[in-house]
Amino acid sequence: MSESVKTIFINGKWSQAHGGGAIDVLAPSNGASIGSISRGVAQDIDAAVAAARQAFEGVWGNTAAVDRGRLLSRLGLKIAEHAEELAQLEALDTGKAMKLARSDVAATARYFEYYGGAADKLHGETIPFLEGYQVLIIREPRGVAGHIIPWNYPAQMFGRTIAAALAAGNTTVLKPAEEACLSIIRLTELAQEVGIPAGVLNVVTGYGEEAGAALSSHAGIDFLSFTGSPEVGTLIQKAAADNHVPCVLELGGKSPQIVFDDADVEKALPVIVGAIIQNTGQTCSAGSRVLIQRSIYEEFVAALAKRINAVRVGSHEADLDCGPVISAVQCERVQGFLDRAHADGITVIGQGKLDASAVSSGFYVKPTLLGPVDETHELAQDEVFGPVLVAIPFDDEEDALRIANGTDFGLIAGIWSENGARQMRLAKKLRVGQVYINGYGAGGGIELPFGGFKRSGHGREKGFEALKEYTVAKTIVINHK
């Protein structure tokens, strides 16, 4: 393990961690070492927060919104210019298929394009008040924003959180996941190349329990964005609460796809399969439950199994339907769910196939369809975060709604029906942040507010709503009598 690696970026300069520690990075496709990153600690977080504060109170705080937007737009173009290089890094680091990595990088560029254009359009408002008074509401940046992001979509998460925060006028300290952050390091280099001022973007690589914990509990930050598990999200929020720091938390899901007997089956099938195998099921919004009206259950499940059986799993370079999961730990976790399901007598209805490129030293799990699964079973309640789809029959609309809302999560839902009235009834009653009707997901969904209910977290990312999260409203009352 190298002790001279420099992947910490503070105040415009690259350095190694305080103390010189490093962390090996493994390729999920074959388990081989592909380098190392700095093992950042609390002292590195202290330095990063101090640099961000100085930039917020100085150069970035004095940069006009239009100029912030131009810098972000320039970075979006630079990302597009380096798209293939970034996609190769992303695929190697996460194990995802090349076609998905390319899509992710395109979405990353789009985030900077979108928020670059939005930076000077975050307007205030006026409030009618007493005669002789003028009341203004202006939106101001929160200050120093801390970002702790996951390993499943590192490039996209960089764009999703950093672009919005910078567009709103904040400065940032980013702690990426130790399992996958090579694309983020390169993206940070590109940000430096286009002229993002020193201290505006700071990156501290390292372990969550060290660098991440130090950031979430730091008294010098003004806002915190976290994406990850509900368990870690709880720790993050408690740590931030000690300093009265507000948070946006995106904590996963157990999202249902509800298929009624009047659904367009041929339209639904490929989308439902795609929603569970994308990124090998390691997606917070994965459609991991398919609720099927009992009158079509057997027929629909048979057609779904046929498609699952055709799914091919291999290395990122093979560019198949699925790659490996991120690590040996995650592989064991997903396999544990499958082993317990087998012990409980739950039937495997369909299962994908491993390609020759899926070597034994890699972290591979076959995409699996199981059913019927009782709605109270752990497979129907817990986030597996792998390519595991459970089929659950329902009787009628009321039954479907009860089952769909019957978990601790509430992120996304899909409704498959040609009945317009039913579509709207369910869409309004589902306790989720996004509802898709006769579809599921929308690419990167850059413009679409995203977030959940219950254990899926709170606050909203993406779209214009994210800019509101990264700002505070200030009321100004002018007496002109």
Same domain? 181 vs 320: no
| E strand intervals along 255-362 | 256-259, 289-293, 312-313, 348-351, 353-354
* Mean pLDDT (whole number) for 215-243: 97
Tell if the pTM clears 0.85, that is, is over it: yes
* Mean pLDDT (whole number) for 255-279: 98
- Supply the DSSP symbol for 367: -
Q: Specify if 203 maps to a domain.
A: yes
* Domain span including residue 340: 256-445
pLDDT of residue 1: 38
pLDDT of residue 3: 53
- Supply the DSSP symbol for 163: I
β-strand partners of 13: 10
- How many domains does the chain contain in total? 2
Q: For residues 146 and 102, give the distance between their C-alpha atoms in angstroms, rounded to a whole number.
A: 27
* Mean pLDDT (whole number) for 419-424: 98
Same domain? 282 vs 233: no
Q: For residues 461 and 318, give the distance between their C-alpha atoms in angstroms, rounded to a whole number.
A: 33
C-alpha gyration radius of the chain: 23
Same domain? 92 vs 205: yes
> Is residue 348 within 8 Å of residue 288, measured between CB atoms?
no
Residue 2 has pLDDT above 60, yes or no: no
Q: Which of 251, 270, 299 is the last residue of a domain?
A: 251
Same domain? 234 vs 264: no
What is the domain-level CATH number for residue 86? 3.40.605.10
The catalytic residue positions are 250
- Supply the DSSP symbol for 219: T
Same domain? 326 vs 439: yes
3-state class (DSSP) for residue 128:
coil
pLDDT tens track for 4-25: 699 999 999 999 999 999 999 9
DSSP class per residue in 334-352 = HHHHHHHHHHTT--EEEE-
Q: For residues 73 and 78, give the distance between their C-alpha atoms in angstroms, rounded to a whole number.
A: 9
pLDDT of residue 456: 97
Q: For residues 93 and 184, give the distance between their C-alpha atoms in angstroms, rounded to a whole number.
A: 11
Q: For residues 438 and 75, give the distance between their C-alpha atoms in angstroms, rounded to a whole number.
A: 35
* Mean pLDDT (whole number) for 357-368: 97
Same domain? 405 vs 283: yes
Same domain? 348 vs 408: yes
* Mean pLDDT (whole number) for 429-456: 93
Residue 181 has pLDDT above 80, yes or no: yes
What is the domain-level CATH number for residue 339? 3.40.309.10
Instruction: Find tokens 């964005």 and name the residue.
Output: 225
pLDDT of residue 441: 84
Same domain? 155 vs 278: no
Same domain? 103 vs 162: yes
* Mean pLDDT (whole number) for 152-172: 98
* Mean pLDDT (whole number) for 34-56: 98
Residue 475 has pLDDT above 70, yes or no: yes
Q: Specify if 455 maps to a domain.
A: no
pLDDT of residue 444: 77
Question: If 0-12 CB within 10 Å is exposed, 13-18 middle and 19+ buried, where does residue 354 land?
Answer: middle
Same domain? 247 vs 106: yes
Q: Specify if 480 maps to a domain.
A: no
3-state class (DSSP) for residue 307:
helix
pLDDT averaged over every residue in the chain: 97
Same domain? 246 vs 285: no
Q: Which of 212, 231, 251 is the last residue of a domain?
A: 251
Q: For residues 368 and 334, give the distance between their C-alpha atoms in angstroms, rounded to a whole number.
A: 11
Residue 395 has pLDDT above 80, yes or no: yes
Q: Which of 232, 251, 270 is the last residue of a domain?
A: 251
pLDDT tens track for 292-315: 999 999 999 999 999 999 999 999
pLDDT tens track for 52-97: 999 999 999 999 999 999 999 999 999 999 999 999 999 999 999 9
* Mean pLDDT (whole number) for 140-154: 98
Same domain? 285 vs 331: yes
pLDDT of residue 4: 62
